[in-house]
Amino acid sequence: MSSLNIAPTITEELAARMKEARATNTAALAMGLGLAGMTWDRWQLLTPAQKDALRDNSALTSQLKGFEGCRVEVIDNYGERRRFWVRKSTGWQPVHIECKLINSSGGTSADRSYQSVKIVTTPKSWRDTR
């Protein structure tokens, strides 16, 4: 009986493309180009340190910074009151996400600003350390 090798293999062409992408990213970082021309594939090839250096947090809602994991009550700029759990997306330009339930796997992007933000519930880890 023969065995079947089902392990994924990297073709020479794919290996060459990955090497070229790494070289392009390294060159872009060295020249200070930042996120110019960034793609998901290029982002995945970066080291964690490079990702931290390049991450653009300008799309995060300033009023929600530091409240990731908390349940908040907001009054939006139209006077409507709502509650949600604050989460943050991943990638090179993360945004805050409004999650309706604590176990939600996603939600809508948070507004850029609110009339007011009030913490309703903090994560258990906050209560234990403060």
User: pLDDT (tens digit, 9 = 90+) per residue, 44-75?
Assistant: 888 888 888 888 888 999 999 999 999 999 99
**pLDDT grade, residue 127 (50/70/90)?**
low
Q: CA–CA separation, 46 vs 43, rounded Å?
A: 5
Is pTM beyond 0.95? Reply is: no
Average pLDDT in the chain: 80
Q: Is the pLDDT of residue 25 over 60?
A: no
Please indicate, yes or no, whether residues 68 and 35 belong to a single structural domain of this protein.
no
Q: 3 in a domain, yes or no?
A: no
> Lowest-pLDDT range, 23-32, 57-66, 71-80, 84-93?
23-32
Neighbours of 46 (CB within 10 A): 19
* Residue with more model confidence, 103 or 126: 103
* Domain coverage including residue 26: 12-54
Q: 62 in a domain, yes or no?
A: yes
Please indicate, yes or no, whether residues 117 and 77 belong to a single structural domain of this protein.
yes
Residue with tokens 């060159």: 27
Tally of structural domains, the chain: 2
pLDDT at 118: 96
Please indicate, yes or no, whether residues 71 and 121 belong to a single structural domain of this protein.
yes
Comparing CA positions, the residue from 79, 115, 117 lying closest to residue 98 is 117
Please indicate, yes or no, whether residues 48 and 89 belong to a single structural domain of this protein.
no
Angle at 89 between CA 71 and CA 92, to 5 degrees: 145
Please say whether the beta carbons of 84 and 76 come within 8 A.
no
- Domain holding 88: CATH number? 2.30.30
DSSP 8-state code for residue 115: S
Q: CA–CA separation, 21 vs 41, rounded Å?
A: 8
Q: Is the pLDDT of residue 7 over 50?
A: no
**pLDDT grade, residue 90 (50/70/90)?**
confident
> Lowest-pLDDT range, 11-15, 37-41, 81-85, 107-111?
11-15
Please indicate, yes or no, whether residues 84 and 27 belong to a single structural domain of this protein.
no
Please indicate, yes or no, whether residues 38 and 69 belong to a single structural domain of this protein.
no
Comparing CA positions, the residue from 107, 118, 123, 104 lying closest to residue 76 is 118
Q: Are strands 71-75 and 108-109 parallel, antiparallel or unpaired?
A: unpaired
Q: 101 in a domain, yes or no?
A: yes
Across 73-85, average pLDDT:
96
Please indicate, yes or no, whether residues 71 and 48 belong to a single structural domain of this protein.
no
Please indicate, yes or no, whether residues 70 and 119 belong to a single structural domain of this protein.
yes
Rg (CA), the chain: 21
